[in-house]
Amino acid sequence: MMVLALLPLGWAGWLGVRDANWWPLALILLMSLLTLAAYAWDKRQAIRGGWRVPEARLHLLELCGGWPGALVARQWLRHKTQKGSYRLRFWAIVWGQLLLLGIWLGWPIWPL
C-alpha cells in the first residue's frame, strides 16, 4: 500500500522535470508533512489523554493533498487503522484523488 504514496509524488516530480513546474511537488510534500505531523500529534494526545485532532480536520488535510503523508503515518505510527468509518473516508479520498489524477493525465480509466 505504501507504493500508492509514490504515485502523486512521481507525477509531481515528472511534471517538475517536464515543465519546470515544481509547485505540485512542493504542495504534496508540504501537505504530507503537515498531515504526518497532525497524525503524530493526535497519536501522542491519544496516549496521554489530551486534546485530539478532530477526524474532520485530518480528512481535510488528506483531501488537500496530504494523504501520502497520512498513509505513511498510518503505517509508521499504527494510528487510525481500526475505526471502519475513518478508514472508509480515508480510502475514498485516496482513490478519488488517484482517479482524478488519472483522468487529468489522460490515462484510460475504463474501456470504451
Q: What is the pTM of this model?
A: 0.82
* CA dist., res. 25 & res. 16, Å (int): 7
Element (H, E) at 6: helix 6-19
What grid cell was written down for 83? Answer: 475505526
- Where in the chain are the domains? 2-105
What grid cell was written down for 18? Answer: 517536464
Per-residue model confidence as pLDDT tens digits over 25-66: 888 999 999 999 999 999 999 999 999 999 999 999 999 999
Q: Give me the pLDDT at residue 111, please.
A: 55
Specify the higher pLDDT residue, 32 or 19: 32
The least confident of 9-13, 54-58, 99-103, 106-110 is: 106-110
| Confidence label for 84 from pLDDT (cuts 50, 70 and 90) | confident
